[in-house]
Structure 1
């Protein structure tokens, strides 16, 4: 199969064609020609879109589906289809399934189930057995079966000695430990950011201190042990400052921020809409600005959707009783593009996450395997339920204004376009 992408502006700093408008010919999944004009042939599949831009394939490092165990939330099949139509050629899938992905067979179930799709699935296996935080899981065996990192989704490692042992052990095979930034004792049973809004609304608060304490503790342990640590979905200005200092010391620490923490604040909570109930909670405007600056200055390495489908029976309840989580794949690009310049964040969803999680990136260059996201960075639109392709509909971005449009991807020798 031959695919001809016409008049596409290439956004790829590792490519000699960066910021140039070119035609791109892909044959049998490989880029064979890049030129100002490539004549089409009748057996070519031609891609022509308004203000078409292409970049290396986007990689989302925190995605939850549900299968196995919670297929009513999302199946792997539909989840990967949604990811492809949202512009992602790869996703890292969390271990919050039933059973938990905490052994070799469970990792292989995910990788086998995801074979043949355009979007590649990479498992993040549980760090501890059953994600209970008590006993380290069989990390090496799971890495050999395809796991790219190890973390208990949305659960902090309370036992500092277990964190120390995990960081030491993982160094034997260059493993990446993921530690959720939340001191549970300080957070307690809080459900919203502790501040003016939580006080006005009578909601139990989770102070920014809870996040800072856990990060500070993990960084002290990392400094002692060495190894590689990833801190997912930070949400406060203090967290940015702590990680900045750690990087100055030369520690191998990386971090991510969820799209909703870059865009939304706890001002949204006045409606008591359960789709705004997330973990970490939505924070203040000051935190939002600090996180955006963290992206621009390189302190924050990755932007993720933190896509977490929750079925309606756990969301259409009182705010205090609702489960945490928002879907985010479909709204990701339009939301982030609305608050950041494309040049400021494109590496945070392409080359940086791949480097941190040990995945080889393919440049947009001759002879390279085609792994490409297709999009238009311009054009405003309002995100509504009709844009949701996921099985679960719990989006925090419903009725929010987006900037830009995703056309699809070319990956694994497959062209997937939004209809």
Structure 2
């Protein structure tokens, strides 16, 4: 089928049309023509809207699909529908299912169930069996079976020897290790950020130190691997600069504190092949939001201080933080309608990433925001680049950056969102992906 996108402003730093307003003719999944006032054949679907913008398709690097095992919370069909409604053409799903994605059989199930969906699903495989942090999975086999990266997902790697050996093992295949930094012995039984607010509310705190210690540890281990790798020690370039060209070797996910941002900023200045992302809700809320004990605001890492939130925005602006993720974590009513200290962690966020950032923006330009959702995630994940140019694959997101809309219902099976019922600025019109137009009604 043919589509004509009429008079859209291009937002793509890699395209020669960046910033221009033009028409795009899409045919058989490819951008056939870009120009002004393009004519179309009968039967071509014309897509137009006020202040319409177009960019390469958005990528969400952190999604809990909950399938297999927890389909009452979410399944691969519902999560893909929610992702498309949020403007995403690609999502990366975590291995924390039941069974865990720690073998080719489970990986194959997720890939098969993802066929024909409105988004492309990329699967992260577990580093350790059952994501238990003890015995290694067959990472090489999982890599060849299609795993896009390796992580124990919601479970931070506590054993430094496991992280060290994983970095060494993944180097020959240019693999990516993703770790959520948390020293869990320091956050045990914690409910929210440790600070004045946790004291006032009488809740056990989770210190930012628990995150920062793990980042420092992991960076030291990464530097150790690079400096002692015999495969690269005689290279004319430094080990770090050589590996940076291949993509980051270590990715920190959902960082939340000012000190974390500074540690990663320093590591990048030293040339270490490292990257990081931030969950969208960390940019919107600080720990004072928990005064009403709303369990839909209970997340891990927890909302930090106002100063931490400001540092996260600054890290996005200066390039320290590479990507913004939804950290979409569906929880059913039985997991959230409890006393605050008994409720599960997590927020659903696929449908509200763009609107939440635009509504609460602290100095991030539209071009920078789109870069965090497109170019940077693709580079980190070693995905093929997508650019707005004739002859290129038409994996596109259409949006109105200043259009208000109300998040009145969700396509997710779970409803644990603090944004339900709120009016946000920045509306997704739809996506074009794999030859289909997924309209956001």
Global fold match (TM > 0.5): yes
Structure 2 counterpart SS, 1:254: strand
The Cα shift of 1:399 comes to 4.5
Identify the match of residue 337 of structure 1 among 358, 367, 374.
358
Aligned to 1:88: 88
* Mapped contact 1:7–1:22 kept (Cα < 8 A): yes
Aligned equivalents of 2:338, 2:155: Cα separation in 1: 23
The Cα shift of 1:116 comes to 1.7
Aligned equivalents of 1:343, 1:12: Cα separation in 2: 7
TM-score, normalization by structure 1: 0.98
Identify the match of residue 280 of structure 1 among 259, 277, 301.
301
The Cα shift of 1:118 comes to 2.6
Deviations, residues 141-178 of structure 1 (Å, cap 9, x unaligned) = 11111111111112111111111111100112111111
Aligned equivalents of 1:344, 1:366: Cα separation in 2: 24
Aligned to 1:28: 28
Deviations, residues 213-251 of structure 1 (Å, cap 9, x unaligned) = 011011110100137111100000000000011111111
Deviations, residues 32-76 of structure 1 (Å, cap 9, x unaligned) = 110111123321011111211000000000001111000011110
* Mapped contact 1:60–1:304 kept (Cα < 8 A): yes
Aligned to 2:392: 368
Aligned to 1:10: 10
1:245 lines up with 2:266 in the alignment: yes
The residue correspondences of 1:289-304 to structure 2 (distance < 5 A) are 289-304=310-325
Identify the match of residue 277 of structure 2 among 256, 263, 266.
256
* Mapped contact 1:118–1:413 kept (Cα < 8 A): no
The Cα shift of 1:382 comes to 4.4
Aligned to 2:167: 167
- Residues 1:3 and 1:381: Cα distance change in structure 2 (over 3 Å): closer
Structure 2 counterpart SS, 1:185: helix
* Mapped contact 2:12–2:367 kept (Cα < 8 A): no
* Mapped contact 1:260–1:396 kept (Cα < 8 A): no
Aligned to 2:411: 389
Aligned to 1:406: 428
Aligned equivalents of 1:112, 1:379: Cα separation in 2: 37
- Residues 1:400 and 1:284: Cα distance change in structure 2 (over 3 Å): farther
The Cα shift of 1:400 comes to 4.3
Aligned equivalents of 1:199, 1:397: Cα separation in 2: 26
Higher deviation after alignment, 333-342 or 267-276: 333-342
Structure 1 counterpart SS, 2:155: coil
Structure 1 counterpart SS, 2:391: coil
The residue correspondences of 1:172-191 to structure 2 (distance < 5 A) are 172-191=172-191
In structure 1, stretches of 5+ residues that fail to align are none
* Mapped contact 1:375–1:404 kept (Cα < 8 A): yes
The residue correspondences of 1:43-82 to structure 2 (distance < 5 A) are 43-82=43-82
1:418 lines up with 2:440 in the alignment: yes
Structure 1 counterpart SS, 2:24: strand
The Cα shift of 1:380 comes to 3.0
* Mapped contact 2:103–2:142 kept (Cα < 8 A): yes
* Mapped contact 2:409–2:420 kept (Cα < 8 A): no
Aligned equivalents of 1:27, 1:86: Cα separation in 2: 24
1:321 lines up with 2:342 in the alignment: yes
* Mapped contact 2:395–2:432 kept (Cα < 8 A): yes
Structure 2 counterpart SS, 1:43: coil
Aligned to 2:152: 152
Aligned equivalents of 1:158, 1:64: Cα separation in 2: 21
The Cα shift of 1:252 comes to 0.8
TM-score, normalization by structure 2: 0.93
Tell me the C-alpha RMSD between the 2 structures: 1.1
* Mapped contact 1:335–1:401 kept (Cα < 8 A): no
Aligned equivalents of 2:192, 2:59: Cα separation in 1: 29
Aligned to 1:379: 403
Aligned to 1:350: 374
Structure 2 counterpart SS, 1:387: coil
The Cα shift of 1:362 comes to 1.6
Higher deviation after alignment, 394-403 or 227-236: 394-403
Aligned equivalents of 1:381, 1:415: Cα separation in 2: 21
- Residues 1:77 and 1:382: Cα distance change in structure 2 (over 3 Å): closer
Structure 2 counterpart SS, 1:50: coil
Aligned to 1:98: 98
1:235 lines up with 2:259 in the alignment: no
